[in-house]
Every structure is written in structure tokens, then in C-alpha cells.
């Protein structure tokens, strides 16, 4: 699974903007199928090695993209962004239509470290339930970016409401951007 780190700094764009570091991870076969229990994608971003130097007042912008499909009966899908097992953003159980194939989904989140143990986490989850990307919901959580800012692993965890081999969700891209304070 290729990983490409990109760093922007002074002179690249607007000189008044703070420096940011992004980690972009892509995968074509990171799929969770037929699992009614919380299961994490293998693709993850380490706050210890991929993104370092996160401090109080900094922010993380996270974007995840992929596709999903469902069995012949309607069910539910829950997606969470976690740091070392702690939920930062949680969609709750979202009703998905029956018999979907290769429908798009994406999750966007902004996590701001207020102190070493608290953060404000806000995000949006979008998915295509009826042939167009019209379904979306907002998420907010007062979880923590990390127990001790700047450590842990960011993962995306999925829970299907019904275990069936035709219920699949694939993570194609995971982008985490550290925005300095």
C-alpha cells in the first residue's frame, strides 16, 4: 500500500497560512465484508510516525473515501473515525438501501486539540443510497485526538447491521492533514 507524504510551507501558497503536513494513503483492496461487529480497515495513519509534532491548539483534517455495496435486503451501516480505539467521529447506524453496488461514500472531519486530553471533533459522513450522493449526516463529538496529544493510530471502523457476504465497504483513500496552530 503506497504512502506519500506531502509538506507545504512558506512560499508554496499563501504566505499567511500556517505550515501543514499531509499523509495520503491509498488502497484498492482494503475491504470489510459480512461483518456485524466493529472492524477496522487495515489502512491507518500513525500519529507517532506518519504525522509527528501535533500539539495543543493544532488541528487534524481527515478525509476518507471509498465504495460500498449491500445485499438484497435493507440494513444499516455505522462508520467511526477512531484514535487507538477511542471514537472521535461516529455516524451511528445509518439505514442503507438494499441491492446497492459500488456506491460512493466519504467522511470528512476536523479535529481540534483544545488541551492535552480534550478536543473538539466535527465531521460529515456522505453516502450514495439512491444513485446520487444525497444522503449525509453531521457528526460532533467531544472525544480526544489522543490520550496525550500526538500519539496513537487513526483508523476507520465499520459495523454492518446485518452480516452478509454481499455487504461490503472498501476504503480507497485516507488523507490526514496536520494543520499547525
Highest mean pLDDT among 13-17, 74-78, 116-120: 74-78
The domain limits of the chain are 3-8+19-179
Q: Number of C-alpha atoms within 13 angstroms, CB side, residue 98? A: 3
Residue 175: the pLDDT is: 92
Minimum mean pLDDT range among 27-31, 97-101, 127-131, 161-165: 127-131
Q: Which one is predicted more confidently, 42 or 47? A: 42
CA 105, chain centre distance (Å):
11
Handedness of CA 146, 147, 153, 157 (dihedral sign): negative
Minimum mean pLDDT range among 29-43, 55-69, 131-145: 131-145
Q: Which one is predicted more confidently, 26 or 125? A: 26
Model pTM above 0.85: no
CATH 2.40.160.10 holds for 3-8+19-179:
no
Count of helices and strands (H, E) across the chain: 0, 13
Q: How confident is residue 103, by pLDDT bands cut at 50, 70 and 90? A: confident
Cβ pair 77, 160 in contact under 8 A: yes
Average pLDDT over residues 122-131: 68
Instruction: Please name every residue paired with 82 in a beta bridge, in sequence order, or none if there are none.
Output: 87, 155
- Residue 113 Cα distances to 29, 53, 95, 181, angstroms: 32, 12, 31, 10
Residue 136: the pLDDT is: 57
Q: How confident is residue 122, by pLDDT bands cut at 50, 70 and 90? A: confident
Residue 162: the pLDDT is: 81
What the block records as the C-alpha cell of 174 is: 485516507
Long-range contacts of 16-24 (CB under 8 A, 24+ apart): 18/179, 18/180, 18/181, 19/180, 20/177, 20/178, 20/179, 20/180, 21/51, 21/177, 21/178, 22/175, 22/176, 22/177, 22/178, 23/50, 23/51, 23/175, 23/176, 23/177, 24/173, 24/174, 24/175
Q: Which one is predicted more confidently, 19 or 2? A: 19
Average pLDDT over residues 90-94: 82
- Residue 5 Cα distances to 51, 61, 89, 175, angstroms: 9, 15, 24, 10
Minimum mean pLDDT range among 62-71, 124-133, 154-163, 168-177: 124-133
Residue 96: the pLDDT is: 83
Amino acid at each position: 500500500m503506497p504512502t506519500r507524504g506531502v509538506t507545504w510551507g512558506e512560499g508554496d501558497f499563501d504566505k499567511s497560512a500556517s505550515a501543514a503536513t499531509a499523509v495520503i494513503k491509498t488502497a484498492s483492496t482494503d475491504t470489510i465484508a459480512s461483518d456485524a461487529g466493529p472492524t477496522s480497515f487495515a489502512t491507518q495513519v500513525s500519529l507517532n510516525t506518519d504525522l509527528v509534532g501535533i500539539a495543543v491548539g493544532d488541528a487534524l483534517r481527515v478525509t476518507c473515501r471509498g465504495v460500498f455495496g449491500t445485499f438484497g435486503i435493507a440494513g444499516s451501516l455505522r462508520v467511526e473515525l477512531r484514535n487507538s480505539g477511542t471514537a472521535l467521529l461516529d455516524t451511528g447506524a445509518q439505514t442503507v438501501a438494499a441491492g446497492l453496488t459500488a456506491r460512493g461514500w466519504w467522511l470528512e472531519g476536523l479535529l481540534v486539540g483544545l488541551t492535552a486530553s480534550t478536543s473538539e471533533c466535527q465531521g460529515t459522513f456522505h453516502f450514495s443510497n439512491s444513485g446520487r450522493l444525497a444522503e449525509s449526516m453531521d457528526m460532533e463529538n467531544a472525544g480526544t485526538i489522543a490520550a496525550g496529544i500526538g500519539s496513537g493510530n487513526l483508523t476507520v471502523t465499520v459495523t454492518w447491521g446485518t452480516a452478509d457476504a454481499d455487504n461490503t465497504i472498501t476504503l480507497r483513500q485516507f488523507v490526514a492533514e496536520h494543520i499547525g496552530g
